[in-house]
Amino acid sequence: MLSVAVKGVNTVRKFNVYRDEDGIYEAVKKGWCWPAFFFGSIWALFSGLWVAAFFIFPIDFLLTVAGNRSGDPYDRYDEAANLIILVIFSIPLLLRVLLGACGNKWRGQKLCRLGYAHIGRVVADGKEHAISMCKAERNADVVAPVTEVPAYQNAAARSEVEVGEGQMCSAAVNEIPPHVLDGFLLFLAVLIGVAACASVVGLLPAGILLGGLFASLKGGNQYYLKKATWLVSGFGYVILTISAAIGVVLLFIEIQNAAIAFWISGLSFATICALRYLWLNPLLRQFKSIRTFVFGIQIPDIPKRPKAQKIITRSGLQTYSVADEIAKWKALHDQGVIDDDEYRQARSRLLNPT
């Protein structure tokens, strides 16, 4: 576990830092989350918190519509009715407070479920600073507590670091069963995709989306799903461009028709975003589980071919003996993952690190 304390001129905050198997880092601030409080379900959607987003969004939407359609003054109701109205319309605020207080914690749990390892807690002045500090310490191959850390360039800070092996986070207790969540995501994605496409350009794009989804699930390949989504998004971009251009022209001729054109442009843009964040991304993340849920077919895990040149040239190799490192590269060579040249480069680098 890595723990870093920083003192500097800037305001410092606490961050939890996560890392996946591909070396991608994510930093999540501890404590209160202002974006979650102000933007609510929108922030949850962009953070991948689908259950929270689809629970909060309908409530916000229904209460907003009810508030806009209610034209009666507040003082026309008696005291009991006013109290009930106050409680009902306080629900969105309470949900925002809950999301602001727990949003960062839920985001960390989401990263753990996606396979990220919690590698450290950092006190820094921003996400990028926190990630850079963790990268620097891991690249230095420090596996025991230390008391001195090299000074960082362009950072007026002093650090005290303790580094150890990252540990996988445990999943949250009492989670939704995976098959229920997969089925809900599939139904919701299909519903949103069909409704959005049918409302903008008709049923043909909706059929393309469903056909691409079915072909990908049947064949076990995400190619058709991606291509179908990109094709329909292309239709949306065409409509967005045409309607925006017409709206600009009509803006100088007839304001009312220009407003309709801009409304179509906004709807097209919303559809493109929905196709990306509410259709494609959830399906890609849950593709294997959804295919198993629909067809009962397990997709075998095919190991990806690593970029050997990147591994060879990167710093921060594991702190084992040279013999152990060479043995690992020899195993990769025997399995056919790397070729002879890549193995010789790795062996030469290990034997002659300078």
- Structure tokens belonging to residue 240: 């967005």
pLDDT < 70 regions, the chain = 1-11, 63-83, 85-86, 138-204, 248-258, 293-322, 353-354
Residue 11's pLDDT is: 61
- With a pLDDT cut of 70, the percent of the chain lying above it is 57
Residue 270's pLDDT is: 77
Helix, strand, coil % in the chain, rounded to nearest 5: 60, 10, 30
Residue 252's pLDDT is: 63
Residue 149's pLDDT is: 42
Residue 172's pLDDT is: 40
- Structure tokens belonging to residue 308: 């050997």
DSSP for 302-346?
A: PPPPP-HHHHHH-S---SS-HHHHHHHHHHHHHTTSS-HHHHHHH
Residue 152's pLDDT is: 41
Residue 70's pLDDT is: 58
Residue 264's pLDDT is: 73
- Structure tokens belonging to residue 188: 């919701």
Please tell me the distance from the alpha carbon of residue 301 to that of residue 279, in angstroms, as a whole number: 23
DSSP letter at 33 equals -
Residue 122's pLDDT is: 84
Alpha helices in 10-118 (DSSP H): 34-39, 41-46, 50-69, 79-89, 91-113
Please tell me the distance from the alpha carbon of residue 196 to that of residue 267, in angstroms, as a whole number: 9
pLDDT in tens, 48-89: 787 787 777 777 777 666 665 555 555 555 666 666 766 777
Cα–chain center distance at 250: 39
